[in-house]
Amino acid sequence: MPPHSRPLRPPNPACKAWISSVFRYNGAMRDSFLPFCRPSISEEDIAAIGDVLRSGWITTGPKVGALEQTIAKRVGAKHAIAATSGTVLMHLTLQALGVGPGDEVVGPSMTWVSTPNMVELLGATNVFVDVDRDTLLASPEAIAAAITPRTKVVIPVHYAGAPVDLDPIRAICRTKGVMLLEDAAHAIGTHYKGKEIGDEDPAIFSLHPIKNITSGEGGVLTTSDDALAKKVRRLRFHGLEVDAHDRSQQGRSPQAEVQEPGYKQNMADMNAVLAVRQLPRLDAFIQRREEISALYRRELANVDGVLPLADPAWSHRHARHLFVVRVDERKAGLDRTAFMQGLKERNIGTGIHFLASHTHRWYREHRGHWMGTLPNTEWNSTRICTIPMFPDMTDGDTMDVVRAIKDTLAGAKAKVSMAGATR
């Protein structure tokens, strides 16, 4: 063996771990990259998309109709309205509810910025509420305290697939006369006290590829409010009373007129068919996510400085959309950036869900008064990290993540003790 390739012989275990972390001298590393999420697409799904392409009707048509009917039936709502994204539905719904200048919209800053952005674009005012430090859910008390005479809508988020405590939140909204609109982007398949999310108040689901089921891009609003459904359908398609598919049907007027100026946000059948195919597998997907989540919880229970979220105390079924841990630098010996880098070097993907909305640049510069007012949100915003979880992951993949976490932490601790030893 030539001298330059002689393996290093570290003098003590701390140095060995340090060398492993620095030189990636790591026998346990997986050789393929594990993303933090990957949609579950079967050969039959691909064939079904091919069938739509061959059918001669690829935009809004029978597949969108089937998706809307199936989701409405599943959640127990009168209407389901599909569009090109959850974000778009947030825009259309808030506009349909008449949200505009002078109105306040109450919701957590710990969400995807798409909701606060739509509120700003409509000229209304975001009123952010803090979340629970360990569930990242907004409490009824926080929501009640944020409501003013100018509040028009309250938008709680069923974060990571755990439901907010809906009963008291519904009671508060009814008493105060404000609309409740649920951000259910993470919550398709979530139950609250034995019932599906989306059964009562308007709820918006996302079908983005990271979410529990997908249409490529897409979203669905469920509601039992006839007037709201009619208005959102209309805004979705030019402000016409009918959709493209309806126009192709016998007996409907091809001369439909604009009732009010609308957008062009209808979902295409080539997208809808994928979600139609995935819906029957949703419960199996959640079951598998539950198993992966339980394995993580068991394996990470004694890992210092990597703290999973807590489940809510009320009766629910969690959709296990994301597995989120908080990296506590004091205990872990490294911050979130170094943690994510360590996992990346070990071929494990991670994400952040989310950087608190009010900490994004535009919000810092234009809505800076929120900084420092949401302690639990800000504490989590700098520490949360999403580790891989998706139905096609094996237990072996899950253990690769656990090993990579332990290895990254051991490397960081060794570095700290080496630094101490040389001082």
Ligand X SMILES: *Cc1c(COP(=O)(O)O)cnc(C)c1O
Binding interface with ligand X (CB under 6 A): 85-87, 111-112, 114-115, 157, 183, 185-186, 206, 208, 219
* Residue closer to ligand X, measured from CB, 20 or 215: 215
How many helices (H) and strands (E) would you count in the chain?
16, 14
* Residue closer to ligand X, measured from CB, 276 or 409: 276
* Residue closer to ligand X, measured from CB, 21 or 84: 84
- CA angle (369, 370, 376) in 5-degree steps: 150
* Residue closer to ligand X, measured from CB, 183 or 400: 183
- Least distance to ligand X, CB of residue 205, Å: 8
- Least distance to ligand X, CB of residue 312, Å: 16
Question: Which of 211, 231, 413, 415 does the annotation list as catalytic?
Answer: 211
Helices (H), 77-165: 86-96, 114-121, 140-146
- Least distance to ligand X, CB of residue 314, Å: 20
* Residue closer to ligand X, measured from CB, 60 or 115: 115
Measured between alpha carbons, how far is 207 from 225 in angstroms, rounded to an integer? 22
Side chain identity at 123, as an amino acid letter? G
Question: Which residues does residue 127 pair with via DSSP β-bridges, in sequence order?
Answer: 106
Measured between alpha carbons, how far is 192 from 172 in angstroms, rounded to an integer? 17
- Least distance to ligand X, CB of residue 391, Å: 18
Contacts of 279 (CB under 8 A, 6+ apart): 67, 70, 71, 74, 213
- Least distance to ligand X, CB of residue 158, Å: 8
Is 211 part of the annotated catalytic residue set?
yes
Dihedral (CA of 234, 239, 242, 244) sign: negative
Measured between alpha carbons, how far is 222 from 76 in angstroms, rounded to an integer? 9
* Residue closer to ligand X, measured from CB, 35 or 102: 35
Helices (H), 125-196: 140-146, 166-176
For the chain, report the end-to-end CA distance as a whole number of angstroms. Answer: 35
Q: Which residue is nearest to ligand X (CB)?
A: 86
- Least distance to ligand X, CB of residue 125, Å: 19
- Say how many residues make up the chain: 423
DSSP class of residue 294? H
Joined tokens for residue 405: 């976490």
CA diameter of the chain: 85
Output the CA–CA distances (angstroms, integers) from residue 114 to 137, 211, 236, in the order listed.
18, 15, 18
Number of Cβ within 10 Å of residue 364's Cβ equals: 12
Catalytic residue numbers read 211
